[in-house]
Every structure is written in C-alpha cells, then in structure tokens.
Amino acid sequence: MTVDIDWKNLGFSYMNLPYRWRAYYKDGEWYKQGLETDNQLHISEGSPALHYGQQAFEGMKAYRTKEGKVQLFRPDQNAKRFQVSAERMMMPKVPVEDFVHAVKEAVKANIDYVPPYESGATLYIRPLLIGVGDNIGVHPATEYIFTVFVMPVGPYFKGGLAPQHFVTSEYDRAAPMGTGGVKVGGNYASSLQPGASAHDEDYADVIYLDPKTHTKIEEIGSSNFYGIERGTHKFVTPKSPSILPSITKFSLLHLAEERLGLEVEQGDCYIDDLDRFEEAGAMGTAAIITPIGSITHKGHRHNFGTGQEVGEITEKLYHELLGIQFGDIEAPEGWIVPVEAD
C-alpha cells in the first residue's frame, strides 16, 4: 500500500493509524489480546487512571533500513522498564516476551507507515498501561488495559543535529523519593507549566535540578543530560534515584566506552560547574542526541563552545547510535530485533 505522507516534513504529533494492539486484564489474568481498529478507549468514569494517575507508558521507535527492512532498538529494555513502572504503580506486569510481541504486532500491522530510510523520520511506538473499572476509593484498580499504538514522527527538536538552548527551572520534576525513576504520566503533567514557560522564552526545554539541593543537574524535560569533560573527554551523566533510566543513556554509555574508547561516569553534574564540560547534550528516544548550545541559570547564559556548533564527540556518538538503529553499523549483540512483514 502506498501512503501519501510528506515524510521529510513530519512533526512530532499524534496520527490515527489503522491498527493498535490491546490486551485486557481482569480477575488476575490477561484476556482478549489482539489488534483493534478503534482509536478510542472506552473506560469507566471511575477509572483510577483518570482520578489517581494509576498508569505507565513507554516511548520507542521502529526504523527502516537501507534494504527496506524494519527493526526495533532494544525493545526488551523498554519491556523491563515498563515492568518497573507497573510495579511502582501497583499494576500487573506485562511479561517481557508479551510486551515485545505486542510491539512487533502493532508495527507489523502498520508497516506501510514506517518512514523510508534517509527520510529523517521514524515510527514512534507508545505502549500504555492504565488502571480502569468502576472505582472511587484511593486504591489500585481491579481491571487494566494494555495498548500499543504507533505513528510516524519527525525530530522532537527541529533542525536535526543542531545545538538547542535550555533553561533551568525553579520547579522540581519529581520528589526525592517519588516517581521520578519510573515512566508515569504524573512526572510529565508537573512539567507542563515550566516547559510552556521555557518555550515562551524561546528555549527548547527545561533543565531540572535535584529536588533536595537545587545544585545538580538531574534531567531535561524530555530527556537525560550528558556532558563531555574538558581535557579528559570523559562521558558524564547524572546519577540519581529520581532520574528516569533512559535506554538511550545506557546505550550511549556503552558506545562511548566500547566504541569510542572514552572513560564514562554516572555522577554529579553541578549547575555551577558547567565549565567542567566542553560539550553537553540531551539524549532520549524522542530527542535521540540533541547538542546543548547553552544553559541559562538564574539569568546567566553559559555557552558550550560558541553555543552554535556541534561538538566532535557528540557528532561521533550521534552517527554511531543512528547507524546502529538504521542498520548501517553493526549493533552489539541483542540490540536489534527485526520486524518481519507478513
């Protein structure tokens, strides 16, 4: 089937594709699993997902290779993180193999919408688990819906591999012992206001500091942070229990060490010590790798270099990661899962 889409000018927005994969949970077991065509979820007004935020989600992508094949990037890692989120929200875990199967089936059913190689676009995948059913008390749901839907998207930050500018926020993304380390909607709901304020001031996004002391970088609104240490070229990324453990981050830690021969560190990144880094970037499924041109903190703008160029190591990591995801560079064992069309 030929799909009439301007692949090179896609935004990062919702699109209603023909199929999504769903499973339903009740009385302690999953049932009624398979593809559906209705993009509406029909749930009780008493659903805990609506009142108490009992839900979790993931973000992934499918990539089309030069040969026209379609592949996933480390879906088992998303599945494991999804289980951690579900456990924290007191929801039933989706088995890893069932999660990967659901993702593959949703992609396969909509395979004509996987953007062409070299279009700059990908197929974004959104697994979602919500607590539903008749409920009003503050306790876990007795019924759940697991759904996986997909859509073609362009870059999250426009301009390709181009430096973006960020600003710190006085708001906290998550509490010190809260839900910052899991991928749940409440973390993002609280980021809407500071994110909108940053966009109004022409920043790409917000950088959140640690909620205890407001002295250390923790996370960017839509991604994780890294810095390349001046002189040593060490790849440094913050470590904290309230940071979402990004699959992209752990992949880049591996690639920086094993492919580029860099020393790597998960540790403190103090906002008042940005001179430590000669390069910095945002990393995540949506952001991929986005160079950070500057960070503004308390009215002072700190540029990395001139603030306008892409650092050498950032560029190498970007091309290594994308080369693996699109099948141009050999991946570490187990990182790539093919999606075979029927």
| 3-class secondary structure, 219 | strand
| Residues 202/264, Cβ–Cβ less than 8 Å | no
| 3-class secondary structure, 231 | coil
Pick the closest to residue 182 from 94, 103, 87, 265 (CA basis).
87
d(C-alpha 320, C-alpha 23), whole Å: 36
- CB atoms closer than 10 angstroms to residue 73: 23
Task: Fill in the amino acid letter for 198.
Answer: A
| 3-class secondary structure, 138 | coil
d(C-alpha 293, C-alpha 280), whole Å: 8
Sign for the CA dihedral angle at 298, 300, 303, 308 comes to positive
Pick the closest to residue 307 from 202, 162, 199, 169 (CA basis).
162
Q: Could you say which DSSP state residue 197 is in? A: H
Q: Could you say which DSSP state residue 270 is in? A: B
Determine phi and psi for 233, rounding to 5 degrees.
60, 20
Annotated active-site positions, please?
183
d(C-alpha 92, C-alpha 25), whole Å: 8
Pick the closest to residue 85 from 60, 42, 53 (CA basis).
53
Sign for the CA dihedral angle at 251, 254, 260, 264 comes to positive
| Residues 206/199, Cβ–Cβ less than 8 Å | no
Name the residue with tokens 């503050």. Answer: 138
d(C-alpha 33, C-alpha 46), whole Å: 23
Determine phi and psi for 249, rounding to 5 degrees.
-60, -50
